[in-house]
Amino acid sequence: MAKRRKYSEDYLNIGFTTVLANNAVEKPECVLCDVVLSVESIKPSKLKRHLETKHLEHAEKDLEFFKRHELQSLEKKFQRYFPELTGEEEALVRHPFSATLDVSSIPDEVQDEFLDLLNDFGA
Ligand SMILES: [Zn+2]
């Protein structure tokens, strides 16, 4: 688990996170433009090339910059996947790291990802 996290931070350093495609293959996704690249592109040199050609102005940004963009991108996804959220769920999307959060109120399918995020950003 810790290994995987380090692995994904290496990608985030150059503006990428990974998404699971339908066939459970991890693909790189740009946190700046939400483009999903092919699984063959999941090499730091290729991802870096995307960053430098598409987002040259952000090429030298630090990890914190990309983390913020990853969170924004995540929030957009929540809104896309759960457009009808109300009450507590909506509060969760708007303030995903609130201390008063009740994890059991999150839809099952996003709980794992969410807990991972809490581990990454919460403490
Ligand atoms: Zn991009």
Torsion of CA 74, 4, 1, 32, to 10 degrees: -10
> Residue 41 has what DSSP assignment?
G
Where along the chain do its domains lie?
1-60
65 Cα–ligand 1 center, Å: 14
29 Cα–ligand 1 center, Å: 8
59 Cα–ligand 1 center, Å: 11
Q: Structure pTM?
A: 0.60
26 Cα–ligand 1 center, Å: 17
3-state secondary structure of 29: strand
Element (H, E) at 18: strand 16-20
pLDDT digits (tens, 9 = 90+) for 62-120: 999 999 999 988 888 777 777 776 666 666 666 555 545 565 666 666 767 777 776 76
